[in-house]
Structure 1
Amino acid sequence: MHRLFAELEPSITVIEQNMADRVWYILRSNTFDVAELERLRRQAVPSSGENATAEDAAPQLAEQTANVDTAVNTPVVVESNDDGTIAQELVLEQMKSTLEEEIVETRPSKSLPSLSKRNRAVVRALNPILVTYLEASRDICETDSILFGTALAVCRIIGAKLSTAGRANGESSAIPAWRIRIEERIAKARALIGRLICFRSGNAGPRIVRTVRMAFAGTNVSLCQPDMMQKLTEYIDDLKQRIAAWGKRIRRYTERSTRFNQNRLFQTDQKRLYKSLERPMVGGTGPAPNQADTVAFWRSLWSEPVNHTGQCMGQ
């Protein structure tokens, strides 16, 4: 594609990476529908053939134009007695077209290093070395390993930072980013609740007092107010309610993920699913707790109840 564009528009200088990025963006953003892309492709192919005829281009360009016509338009009928060779060429062209489409569609959306003169020189120096290894490759898995190792070598030479944790072990982190953020919020809120409870219990250490001041920063609450303990209790209860809401969101996601995995496992390996369901549950095997102890436990979690006056209820 880059060679064809350079022959059609010699006055415009476009690198291969830039053209590949533009093609990828057009396909991803659905700027043109399938019919429009087909029409543009058919318009581009005859024009390239006319330019090649007018300028007496090399036979390689004529062969490339014929291959593009074969892949895009209806199959070209070739008069030959060797039907097996013709069928094999058509299959190869179809495989090439499918490969190009898959490369564009499944290209990873990662930030690429800038194509400076030094980086281009490194790539040009490694290209002849890479040919030797690709010619000795026996299957597509080995080719994939060679290309990936070459990319890592280029990044290492030019000093680009690239994380290979997911590629090394073949697995990526299954924990979503939002869950990690919520777990961090819960940990910070629990630490804050602990220090606020210490302050309410009478611990007036410098770090505890500084934490309380930071917690009530931006409000009209002062440590010298007579109702400071009541404000502190309300703030602790608010933090506990936030922790409960965050935990409920994580539990909902965990339950949904468990159901999804079980349904998928039921479609693929029912025996394995039944074995996982037959495993004994870890919790809930002991005797039921006393009702009074349960009520006292939950009341202690929510601190002291807040008494609402009639005036407040009337407002």
Structure 2
Amino acid sequence: MHNKIKKVRLKGNESFNFREGWIRKGVRCISKYPMLFSRDDVMEQLGVGSKMVKSIKYWLLATNICVERYTNSGRSRELELTEDYGQIINRYDPYLDDIFTLFTLHYQIVKNDALCITWNLFFNEYDGVDFTKEDMVSVCGALLNKRLDEGSTFSESLFSDDCASVLRMYLNSSEVEDPEESLQCPLSSLGLLAKSTRSKNSYIKTAPAKDQLDKLAVLYVIVSNLPEGKQSIRINELVTSENNIGRVFNLNRVKVNEYLDQLRVAGYLTINRTAGLDMIYLNEAMTPASVLTKYYEETQVR
């Protein structure tokens, strides 16, 4: 059950999806100047225009790389790396070179319904097949209306802009026809969206290639969704529950079970499919941060 939304945050990205190097540049600058976005020379520090400055700040927060803190008795605001995510990414993959990191960034965006409600709705609730942008705007707009508190409204034009941003963000560069869209978001490499072959201007959600989505990215999302102290979950929840692996990565039940079998063979979990239980049990206590660290440390050893 969702909490009712009183104020909808739309177009926080200023219609710019983050580009290669933006996250790294933002992290590097706030490490030097925590109050970077309050500085008069922020455009010079980041080397971009005013709208892109707002967009970089938005994506640092939307991806959970950074959190905003109030200082000076609430009169000032500074950004700092989140301990359980941003600091780990900055330590092991500061340039976001590993596609594993990009899949975890994608998860952070999808679950962030405060800043990224359109992304949240698209992956968690929208089941469109061979859909156009107009289909997406119509259905996701209706879904958003259901989440609104009584008397709350949202701008349909801004919502449409956000829907366009979602499609641009994930569509692979080889399928982009507009040369002005050549500066793509790194998440376009994840394989989560493609142009439909059935009709023009239509899209389909797609599952990532097996050699792209690592089993530990799947484990990271599973562990992130477990309540504190709990080490088991029904497989059906993994497939259908919002912000879990089925929804976040466009995985059907067959593909979810394939990843669970990989994790079982690797010793991370036990699967019980007897007597209709269909449960998984972690073999040891884990946190999202420990899964991230394990992946990066094992990768560096290879």
TM over 0.5: no
Q: Please tell me the TM-score bracket, short chain as reference.
A: under 0.3
Bigger proportion of residues as strand: 2
Which one has the largest radius of gyration?
A: 1
TM-score (norm 1): 0.21
